Amino acid sequence: MDMNVLCISPYQSMHISVQQIYNIYAKKYPNIHVYFEKLDRHEGIPALTDMINERHYDMVISRGGTSALIKKISKIKVIDVGISQYDILSIIQASSRIDKIALVGFPEITDPFQKVADRFQKSVPVYSVQNDTDLNGTLKTIKASGFNTVIGDTSVENMAEQFNLNTIFITSGEETIKNALLNSFAILEELSKNQDQKQLFIHLLNEFNQFFAVFNSDGSLYLKSDGFFNDDTLWDRFENTITKKMTNFNYNNSYYKIDSKEYQNKLIYDLRREKIWNDSKNTDFAQLLMDDDKSIQISNLYHTIYDDGFFNKLETYAQDDTNIVVLGEKGMSKKYLSIMISKYSNYKSNVPVLLNLESEKLFNAAMNDEKSILYESGKVCVLDKFNNLPYKIQRNFLNFIDETGFASRNKIIFIFEQKLSDGIDKNLEGLIANSHLVTLKPLSDVIGNSVSKLITIIINDYAKHNAKMVTGISDLALDYLLNQTWNNNLVEFTKVINSSLAATESAQVGVKDIQAAEKEYKDLKYLYNHDHKTSYSPINSYNSAESKTLHEITREAVTNVLFKNSGNKTKTAKELEISRATLWRYLKEDN
């Protein structure tokens, strides 16, 4: 008797673990066919309903709020993975350094947590909810009561962000997942129903994408993803493209690529949105800054470092017509901060666009292209390290936005990479004066308690996305981290901790793990910052397309020195050892 089981994992590490465990025991249960999906209840009832109705299932295995929701919308038997005593004690230990923390969740999570907390005399406030309305009100109450961190599952994690609450994700260990899976198999072996099999997406489980469509052998539509249901225009573009037997198309300033494969007499199309902006002739001038795991982690870290006042200011700045200047040291993930600002803005349907002004050639080509983003409206545009660009490019861009009204049609975020103590160049004082200024403090200014919270969030995020259990960091390792100088701030800090989490062979990260990760980071940084030494002459690799005349090189040098001297022509001429008349000639030609 063949039977089907659907495993719905609310988070990535469970999605990985349940498949790995199943692979170990699959041969013992040849008549049980298991299908794996990653979906959380916050993604909506329609998506969950479509997934359950995709084929006939004898049982569904899930966890927490997702499990509770499935029980309400379906008559299929549901097995809740749950959490074990060890899982609960691990999360309590991992969050022991954080004060004002509470557990929030559905009874499937809160009931066993409360029992273990009582048994081991752990004082952690527990709040149980029944639905999203309860959850919203509970989180609002918790925030008003002075709590800054909550423990919960993905449902809690997604809603807690609205209240600027940090979250500690509670995961189910491998032993817990294994027990749930094997118990479900034991139950299924007692069932006697005859069921027809549909084995359609098992080969797509590791590549699940937002947009996909499946067609029968006669060309009729069998199934399409929610992404297509929610965007009729995108679906029309997709259908038109496959009808013409093409594999790519442009839509909403994004480039889409189509892959296809056959499986059991069905044709499966997988649509992927590329991150690179398609700017007609110049594909390198603009790039979409997409929300991904890294930007979500950076958002959590910022919410730990800064209070509600900082984010209230960002939201206010994002919703008016004034440009924003973000100023901070290297490694503070300023580009990812622009994603957060974009979410607050009036252009919430669009992701921010990173403009590339490093090359004057690219900028000039974009200006001359009537289809360029420079002539569009309603975008959040980001200019990275604007204060470090050559003076001529800065001047040309600022003149362009004034003359064309680009700044009034779009929200511009200028990123300045520098220390606060370096001050502002006089040539950019006008830009600063007419913009909202957001200054970021370096990691060295973050107090010890906040650093402990940062570490907890990184460890918890690692556990969420990797099937490896690390309960925390030793006291000695914590002291070592608190006394380090992080020259590359958050970037270096997060990379070192993630590397140590991957390398450690114990349940806790130790000092040696941190030191090894630091060395690895410095070695990689050295490789990236030093040119490869070749045995041939540099002349052999000379690119004539990028060549400049001696006159152009001289004129560029003159402009850069003038910029450095804040427009002082006498000082510039003296430093270059030329006359003021010669200087004036170059400047006149430059204009």
Burial class, 61, CB count within 10 angstroms (exposed 0-12 / middle 13-18 / buried 19+): buried
443 CB-side CA count, 13 A:
24
* Cβ neighbours for 10, distance < 8 A, ≥ 6 positions apart: 38, 39, 40, 41, 62, 63, 64, 65, 66, 153, 154, 155
**Which among 398, 385, 298, 391 is positioned nearest to 339, based on CA atoms?**
298
User: Token pair for residue 61?
Assistant: 């295995």
Q: How many CB atoms lie within 10 A of CB 428?
A: 18
Q: Which residues pair with 261 in a beta bridge?
A: 268
Burial readout 192-219 (b: 16 or more C-beta within 10 A, e: otherwise) = eeeeeeeebbeebeeeeeebbbbbeeee
The answer on pLDDT for 382 being more than 80 is yes
**Contact of 209 with 271, CB cutoff 8 Å:** yes
342 CB-side CA count, 13 A:
27
Four-point Cα dihedral 431, 433, 437, 439, nearest 10: 90
Q: What is the 3-state secondary structure (H, E, C) of 166-233?
A: EEEECCCCHHHHHHHHHHHHHHHCCCCCCCCCCCCCHHHHHHCCCEEEEECCCCCEEEECHHHHCCHH
pLDDT digit string (tens) for 96-105? 777 788 889 8
User: What is the dihedral sign for C-alpha 185, 187, 189, 191?
Assistant: negative
Scan for tokens 């491998």, then name that residue. 174
Residue type for position 215: F
Phi, psi (degrees; rounded to nearest 5) at 81: -60, -40
**Which among 345, 337, 351, 348 is positioned nearest to 306, based on CA atoms?**
337
User: What is the dihedral sign for C-alpha 145, 150, 152, 158?
Assistant: positive
**Which among 316, 222, 300 is positioned nearest to 262, based on CA atoms?**
222
- Name the most confidently modeled range: 14-28, 357-371, 517-531: 14-28
pLDDT at 350: 63
Residue type for position 359: S
**Span of 137-146, 199-208, 315-324, 485-494 with lowest mean pLDDT:** 199-208
User: Token pair for residue 84?
Assistant: 């074990």
* Cβ neighbours for 95, distance < 8 A, ≥ 6 positions apart: 101, 149, 151, 168, 456
Q: Would you give the end-to-end CA distance of the chain in angstroms? A: 83
495 CB-side CA count, 13 A:
18
* Domains, the chain, with CATH or none: 3-82+175-188 (3.40.50.2300), 85-171 (3.40.50.10660), 210-274 (no CATH), 286-441 (3.40.50.300), 445-529 (1.10.8.60), 547-590 (1.10.10.60)
Q: Which residue has the higher pLDDT, 1 or 418?
A: 418
pLDDT digit string (tens) for 19-30? 999 999 999 888
Residue type for position 36: F
pLDDT digit string (tens) for 20-72? 999 999 998 888 899 999 887 677 788 888 888 888 898 999 987 788 888 88
**Which among 301, 306, 8 is positioned nearest to 167, based on CA atoms?**
301
59 CB-side CA count, 13 A:
24
pLDDT at 439: 93
Scan for tokens 């008349």, then name that residue. 581
Phi, psi (degrees; rounded to nearest 5) at 210: -65, -35
Mean pLDDT over 68-86 rounds to 87
Output 258-263 pairs: Cβ under 8 A, ≥24 positions apart.
263/200, 263/203
Phi, psi (degrees; rounded to nearest 5) at 267: -105, 120
Q: What percent of the chain stands above pLDDT 90? A: 15
The answer on pLDDT for 226 being more than 60 is yes
**Which among 42, 301, 65 is positioned nearest to 164, based on CA atoms?**
301
pLDDT at 552: 63
The answer on pLDDT for 283 being more than 70 is no
Q: What percent of the chain stands above pLDDT 70? A: 83
pLDDT digit string (tens) for 396-448? 899 988 888 888 888 999 999 998 888 888 888 889 999 999 999 888 888 66
Q: Cα–Cα distance between 301 and 161 in angstroms, integer? A: 12
Mean pLDDT over 345-358 rounds to 78
pLDDT band at 192 (very low <50, low <70, confident <90, very high): very low
Residue 276 DSSP code = B
**Which among 490, 492, 503 is positioned nearest to 328, based on CA atoms?**
490
**Contact of 79 with 183, CB cutoff 8 Å:** yes
**Contact of 393 with 313, CB cutoff 8 Å:** no
* Cβ neighbours for 176, distance < 8 A, ≥ 6 positions apart: 81, 82, 83, 84, 86, 87
**Span of 64-78, 147-161, 174-188, 198-212 with lowest mean pLDDT:** 198-212
User: Token pair for residue 131?
Assistant: 């639905």
* Longest pairwise C-alpha distance within the chain: 98
Mean pLDDT over 332-358 rounds to 83
Give how far the C-alpha of residue 492 lies from the chain's centroid of Cα atoms, to the nearest Å: 17
Q: What is the 3-state secondary structure (H, E, C) of 310-352?
A: HHHHHHHHHCCCCCEEEEECCCCCHHHHHHHHHHHCCCCCCCC
Q: Cα–Cα distance between 202 and 216 in angstroms, integer? A: 17
Say whether 562 sits in a helix, a strand or coil: helix
Residue type for position 27: K
